[in-house]
């Protein structure tokens, strides 16, 4: 009788309770591991999002395999908005494909420091294709335009030297914090001996191709 009854409870019933206790313990451990994993994933997602720069999301707007390209609106202040597709970008600038009535060849170089807001950005992001590509500075992009002697329209963030906020001409010299714009009417060949206006880079809103 002692082999079958201990404290008035059948041994097989007591064994079933123990098994249930161990099963419950296993379930609790599994649930705890799931909560820890979910918390770790959420924390990793927050840290990854905190490291995403505006240029990373602009790259994603270019599209890719299985991802459609999307147009964006760059708000530059003073009610100026440029709309178009992202052609290229680096840490300091973005190149947009804009309607030809805005830019002669349909290209606009925009310093990211001049952008006060963007509409149409995808939620996803994309890293630079290489560290070298991301190190292309605004100065180097402007120097490339100056070397090519491209006629441009320069939009200024504020009123400019004479309040116009707009210059037509050719980029002449690019300094560390400024650019010389050799002014000439649209459609005329650039001449180095013409009027030159020096613009500080922090006042540069966009450079539109007028070729």
Give the DSSP H/E element, type plus range, for residue 196: strand 196-200
Separation of alpha carbons 112 and 24, rounded Å: 56
Separation of alpha carbons 63 and 116, rounded Å: 23
User: Which residue range(s) make up the domain with 97?
Assistant: 54-209
Instruction: For residue range 111-125, list pLDDT tens digits in order.
Output: 999 999 999 999 888
Instruction: For residue range 6-57, list pLDDT tens digits in order.
Output: 455 555 555 567 778 777 788 888 888 888 888 787 767 677 667 789 999 9
168 close to 184: Cβ distance less than 8 angstroms:
yes
Residue 3 lies in a domain: no
- The whole model's pTM is what? 0.75
Q: What CATH number is attached to the domain comprising 114?
A: 2.30.30.600
What contacts 88, CB < 8 A, 6 or more positions away? 94, 95
Residue 194 lies in a domain: yes
User: Do residue 43 and residue 102 come from a single domain?
Assistant: no
79 backbone φψ class: left, alpha, beta (φ>0; ψ -120 to 50): left
Burial of 94 (0-12, 13-18, 19+ CB in 10 A): buried
Nearest 10 degrees: Cα torsion 40, 45, 46, 49: 160
Domain count, the chain: 2
């Amino acid at each position: 009788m002692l082999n079958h009854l201990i404290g008035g409870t059948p041994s097989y019933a007591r064994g079933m309770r123990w098994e249930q206790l161990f099963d419950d313990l296993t379930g609790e451990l599994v649930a705890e591991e799931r909560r820890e994993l979910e918390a770790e994933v959420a924390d990793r997602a927050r840290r990854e999002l905190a490291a995403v720069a505006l240029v990373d999301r602009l790259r994603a707007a270019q599209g890719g395999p299985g991802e459609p390209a999307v147009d964006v609106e760059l708000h530059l202040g003073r009610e100026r908005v440029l709309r178009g597709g992202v052609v290229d970008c680096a840490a300091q600038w973005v190149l947009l494909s804009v309607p030809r009535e805005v830019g002669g060849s349909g290209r606009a170089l925009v310093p990211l420091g001049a952008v006060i807001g963007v509409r149409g950005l995808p939620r996803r992001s994309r890293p630079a294709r290489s560290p070298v590509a991301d190190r292309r500075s605004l100065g180097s992009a402007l120097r490339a335009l100056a070397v090519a002697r491209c006629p441009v329209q320069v939009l200024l963030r504020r009123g400019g030297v004479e309040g116009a906020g707009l210059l037509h001409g050719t980029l002449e010299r690019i300094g560390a914090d400024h650019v010389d714009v050799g002014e000439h009417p649209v459609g005329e060949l650039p001449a180095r001996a013409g009027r030159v206006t020096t613009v500080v880079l922090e006042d540069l809103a966009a450079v539109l191709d007028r070729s």
